[in-house]
Amino acid sequence: MPYPRGHRDRMRKRIVESARRLFNRRGFEGVSIDEIMAGAKLTRGAFYSYFRSKSDLYAEVLGCFFTDPEWKSRWKGVKVDLRSANAGPQIVRAYLSRQHFDDVANSCPMVALPSDVARTDAKVKSAFEAVFRAMVAILEREVLDRRKAAARAMSIAALCVGGMVVARAMNDGGFGDRLRRAATRTALELGGW
């Protein structure tokens, strides 16, 4: 008896979601294929009918709300409309929000995984770069100073990602909160928002 229509896509999505949560919590090396598949409630043997390698899966996991239409409602109370006239400030506020800070499992992989990505292969680095470039492109169209839009968009994106990475590394939660707020203010100023 054949599987119902859409079954393969649903199973692939379950694997990606399981991997995203696990990679965000423990990194690429800290997660096995067995754990990913158990989280997806599938057998290890099924993995290779969907992905050639763990690196291929990792590259797919590197989606974020800039590239993944399903991402939009990950953080409770945080909305980003990439088509709106004020997408730039929405991105900055969402990215540096307390909800994003607290929700490690559903974090944007650019925050949770940059040191892992730096140690992986070109395919994974290309996937990471594509997400970062997508973020920069959206921010660039929103920056008010058109002469400096490209440089400012790259700076804002780096400030958002780096600000969250450093805030999560702080033992002093209050200091981390102040850092996120400062990064938010500076990013909004750079954009002219």
User: What does the block give as tokens for 138?
Assistant: 């959206």
Domain shared by 192 and 137, yes or no = yes
Domain shared by 83 and 48, yes or no = no
Q: How far is 43 from 16, CA to CA, in rounded Å? A: 14
Residue 73: predicted pLDDT: 58
Residue 59: predicted pLDDT: 83
Residue after which a domain boundary falls, among 42, 61, 80: 61
Domain shared by 48 and 74, yes or no = no
90: containing domain: 63-193
Domain shared by 45 and 83, yes or no = no
User: What does the block give as tokens for 21?
Assistant: 């949560």
Q: How far is 164 from 160, CA to CA, in rounded Å? A: 6
Q: Count of domains in the chain?
A: 2
**What are the pLDDT digits (tens) for 32-71?**
999 999 999 999 989 999 999 998 898 888 776 677 666 6
Domain shared by 137 and 44, yes or no = no
- pTM comes to 0.83
Residue 77: predicted pLDDT: 81
The CATH code of the domain that includes 121 is: 1.10.357.10
Domain shared by 130 and 140, yes or no = yes
Q: How far is 156 from 191, CA to CA, in rounded Å? A: 7
State percent of the chain over pLDDT 70: 94
Residue after which a domain boundary falls, among 22, 42, 61: 61
Contact 61, 109 (CB under 8 A): yes
